[in-house]
């Protein structure tokens, strides 16, 4: 009940934020929500026991698919977001048949390598992707209106939160938790391990693709190095770990804490903020092993 109250309260605050916030805060909040969605998707895959490092790869695929759809096929910017999600999901379906046979570090390394493969393809398929120079649109989505873009990202974030809660409140939770704890026991209970892993892999990849599509439409530009940047992997992972893994509120809390901390540190220390940012992450992981949300929840329960 407390978890649901927290999520509802966060959503209500986010809905009314544009009524009193300036453009800078709206832009920061939009960016935080994009990374929050990536953090939630990474955590949803982690709940199966599989450590995926392919977040940036599917993010980039969705971004390129959206830009190409608008630029080359005159698809509407909003519709291109769905195309980005579908394209990432289809690639995940094709690759998942092979990579989901792997486990633990082998799976993690393979998904990390996929990001590099996608980036090399984007750089070399210049007729389609623009090559190393990338592709640019003449207009950002909604002509760059920060408030409209904020509402779009908020709507997407609410959908991702709802999906995460479905993973937490239906039989999917018991199946993937069983797989994470002991695959042998899960198999003996009649759980189709590969089916559930593939399902979660496709859903999380679609989320990452949609996030990339929104990000690309917001800035009207894609380029291999920046679009497939490791920031779209490392920051969501850090947010999930700091907030608390295996839950919906954890990545939300982590995204808010690290997102605003990052912006404050940029203003305070323009050339050294990443050092402090890293120290905050390390200290949180060492001393708050369940994350900020998990630690607070444990203290509330103990009272």
pLDDT in tens, 245-297: 999 999 999 999 999 988 888 888 877 777 887 888 888 878 888 888 888 87
Give the residues across from 222 on adjacent strands.
135
Torsional sign, CA 279, 281, 286, 288 = positive
Instruction: Report in angstroms the alpha-carbon separations of 90 from 8, 117, 202.
Output: 32, 16, 8
Its pTM stands at 0.95
Cβ within 8 Å of residue 81, ≥6 positions away: 66, 156, 210, 213, 214, 217
pLDDT of residue 267: 82
* DSSP run (H or E) holding 66: helix 55-73
Q: Give the span between the Cα atoms of 9 and 13, in whole angstroms.
A: 6
HSE, CB side, 13 Å, CA atoms: give it for residue 151.
Answer: 10
Which residue has 């453009």 as its token pair? 23
> In the predicted model, is pLDDT for residue 1 greater than 70?
no
HSE, CB side, 13 Å, CA atoms: give it for residue 193.
Answer: 19
pLDDT of residue 191: 94
Cβ within 8 Å of residue 257, ≥6 positions away: 239, 242, 243, 292
Q: Which of 1-10, 60-69, 279-288 has the highest mean pLDDT?
A: 60-69
Query: pLDDT for 218-244, tens place per residue?
Result: 999 999 999 999 999 999 999 999 999
Q: Which residue has the higher pLDDT, 160 or 296?
A: 160
pLDDT of residue 5: 78
Asked if residues 250 and 43 have their Cβ atoms less than 8 Å apart, the reply is yes
Query: pLDDT for 67-112, tens place per residue?
Result: 999 999 999 999 999 999 999 999 999 999 989 989 889 999 999 9
pLDDT of residue 221: 95
pLDDT of residue 19: 87
Q: Which two tokens stand for residue 40?
A: 């939630």
Q: What phi-psi label fits residue 22: left (phi over 0), alpha (psi between -120 and 50 degrees) or beta?
A: beta
Residue 131 burial by Cβ neighbours in a 10 Å radius (0-12, 13-18, 19+): middle
Question: In whole angstroms, how large is the CA radius of gyration of the chain?
Answer: 19
Q: What phi-psi label fits residue 263: left (phi over 0), alpha (psi between -120 and 50 degrees) or beta?
A: alpha
Average pLDDT, the chain: 92
Mean local confidence (pLDDT), 171-193: 93
Going through the chain in order, the beta strands assigned E by DSSP cover 135-136, 221-222
pLDDT of residue 303: 64
CB atoms near residue 165 (< 10 Å): 15
> In the predicted model, is pLDDT for residue 2 greater than 70?
no
């Amino acid at each position: 009940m407390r978890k649901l109250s927290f999520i509802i309260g966060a959503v209500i605050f986010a809905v009314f934020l544009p009524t009193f916030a300036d453009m800078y805060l709206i832009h920061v909040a939009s960016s935080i929500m994009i990374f929050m969605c990536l953090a939630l998707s990474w955590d949803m895959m982690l709940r199966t026991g599989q450590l995926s490092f392919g977040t940036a790869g599917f993010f980039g695929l969705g971004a390129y698919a959206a830009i190409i759809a608008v630029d080359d096929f005159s698809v509407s910017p909003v519709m291109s977001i769905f195309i980005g999600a579908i394209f990432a999901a289809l690639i995940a379906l094709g690759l998942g048949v092979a990579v989901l046979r792997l486990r633990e570090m082998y799976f993690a390394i393979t998904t990390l390598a996929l990001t590099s493969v996608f980036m090399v393809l984007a750089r070399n398929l210049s007729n389609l992707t623009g090559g190393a120079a990338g592709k640019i649109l003449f207009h950002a989505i909604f002509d760059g209106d920060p408030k409209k873009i904020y509402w779009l990202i908020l709507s997407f974030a609410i959908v991702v939160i709802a999906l995460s809660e479905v993973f937490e409140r239906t039989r999917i939770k018991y199946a993937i938790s069983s797989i994470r704890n002991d695959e042998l026991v899960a198999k003996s209970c009649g759980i189709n391990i590969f089916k559930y892993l593939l399902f979660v892999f496709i859903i999380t990849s679609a989320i990452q693709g949609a996030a990339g599509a929104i990000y690309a439409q917001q800035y009207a530009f894609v380029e291999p190095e920046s679009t497939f940047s490791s920031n779209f992997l490392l920051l969501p992972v850090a947010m999930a770990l700091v907030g608390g893994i295996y839950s919906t509120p954890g990545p939300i809390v982590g995204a808010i804490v690290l997102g605003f901390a990052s912006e404050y540190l940029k203003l305070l220390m323009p050339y050294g903020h990443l050092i402090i940012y890293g120290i905050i992450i390390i200290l949180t992981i060492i001393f708050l092993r369940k994350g900020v949300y998990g630690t607070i929840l444990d203290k509330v329960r103990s009272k």
